[in-house]
Amino acid sequence: MSPGDQTAPLVLVTWPDYDVDHPALGGALTAAGLELRLAPKLAARSPDELADLLTGAMGAIVSTDPFTADVLETAIDLRVIARVGVGVDSIDLDAASARGVQVATTPGANEHAVADHAVGLMLAVLRRIPQLDRDVRAGGWHRTGPVTPRQLTGATVGLVGYGHIGRRVAARLRGFDVQLLVHDPALPAGDPETSIALDDLLRRSDVVSLHCPLMSSTRHLIDARALALMRPEAVLVNTSRGGVVDERALLAALRGGSIAGAALDVFEGEPPAGSPLLELDNVVVSPHNAGLSTTSVAEMTRRATQAVLDVAAGGVVTDLVNVQALDARAPAPVRARKGVGA
């Protein structure tokens, strides 16, 4: 097709470090006649910024971008949102479904990475690894006293949420001879694990690890009341979503000694620039990358790319989150669109 006459359908890519030349990623999209618009999400992004980036895009391979109802209303060409990961709390699913926009995730691709990271954070905060690392680099050699590490072995660990990731965490923890407690109201009947009341789990656990999705019923699940139930020597680990924890209440509990420490991969506002939590020695943090590894990123980006290719060809994505979208807009192959001088 001649330049200025027609242009290729656009795909917005906000996932950082997306390989535009890899034959299963960017190479596959361009081979299918699609054009890439790269806009890596490296910091907070407003809905208005996202709306501008989506202009003319039929598909999007995304990070945690804010797909609000207003954004989706303006994205008139959008047919598919391919989320690199499993969380969809940043996407208004009802609005996407109403507009016939298929939303795809990559379930199972990052479960091992998250489980590894969760256990790593437990060890980091209990063994005081970041604190000791900073001390030695600064010329210190403090081995005992207030910085004496604790053991994970023999501890009581409470898992809030016992889906695929929670179960993988449990499998790893059994090698540490811990006592496992589980709270999950959705635990299926006949499951060999027994779900106990959340309050009971909080009172009994040395480590509380969160593995639940963010929804209305779990937002600020760990609030001031919940934190007050925990033991003074307990630590909180969050690799789920920042909104599950009331950060103001957590800050007060950490400063006041109500709990001993926290290890956070996720925050209510990301990145957490200026958060007073970052000033505390008893807090270990990472940049919402629990689910990332060389292995998981390769698989998640491949599957997200395939989801866009499937929709571009008139099909349905494999890991469809919102089946209602199929009722709103019948699948059809995308066509090259008329050029607008670009």
DSSP secondary structure string for all residues of 135-195? HHHTT----SGGG----STT-EEEEE--SHHHHHHHHHHGGGTPEEEEE-TTPPTT-SS-B
Read off the DSSP letter of residue 91.
B
Alpha-carbon Rg for the chain, nearest whole angstrom, is 22
* Residues 297, 281 within the same domain: no
Beta-bridged to residue 12, according to DSSP, are: 37, 60
| 126: in domain | yes
What are the tokens at 316? 């349905």
Give every residue of the chain whose pLDDT is below 70, as ranges: 1-6, 329-342
Q: How far apart are CA 304 and CA 18, in angstroms?
A: 11
Domain with residue 131: its CATH number is 3.40.50.720
Question: 261-264 and 235-238: which strand pairing?
Answer: parallel
* Residues 48, 194 within the same domain: no
Q: How far apart are CA 181 and CA 288, in angstroms?
A: 25
| 257: in domain | yes
Q: How much is the pLDDT for 332?
A: 53
The model carries a pTM of: 0.89
* Residues 92, 116 within the same domain: no
Q: How far apart are CA 4 and CA 12, in angstroms?
A: 20
Are 99 and 122 within 8 A, CB to CB?
no
* Residues 214, 311 within the same domain: no
Q: Which amino acid is at 290?
A: A
> What domain range is 235 assigned to?
111-285
Q: How much is the pLDDT for 342?
A: 30
pLDDT digits (tens, 9 = 90+) for 97-150: 999 999 999 999 999 999 999 999 999 999 999 999 999 999 999 999 999 999
Q: How much is the pLDDT for 7?
A: 79
CA-to-CA dists, residue 239 to 113, 116, 297, angstroms: 11, 11, 17
* Residues 47, 128 within the same domain: no
Q: Active-site residue 270, yes or no? A: yes
What are the tokens at 190? 């006949």
Q: Which amino acid is at 224?
A: A
**Count: domains in the chain:** 2
Neighbour tally for 264: CB within 10 Å: 25
Q: Active-site residue 241, yes or no? A: yes
* Residues 140, 250 within the same domain: yes
* Residues 151, 266 within the same domain: yes
Q: How much is the pLDDT for 148?
A: 97
Edge-to-edge strand list for the sheet holding 35-38: 35-38, 10-13, 57-62, 80-83, 102-104
* Residues 187, 91 within the same domain: no
Read off the DSSP letter of residue 320.
B
* Residues 128, 12 within the same domain: no
Catalytic residue among 83, 99, 288, 303: 288
* Residues 278, 300 within the same domain: no
* Residues 304, 232 within the same domain: no
Catalytic residue among 270, 302, 329, 337: 270
Distance of CA 41 to the CA centre of its chain: 14
* Residues 164, 223 within the same domain: yes
Q: How much is the pLDDT for 3?
A: 44
SS3 call for 114: helix
| 1: in domain | no
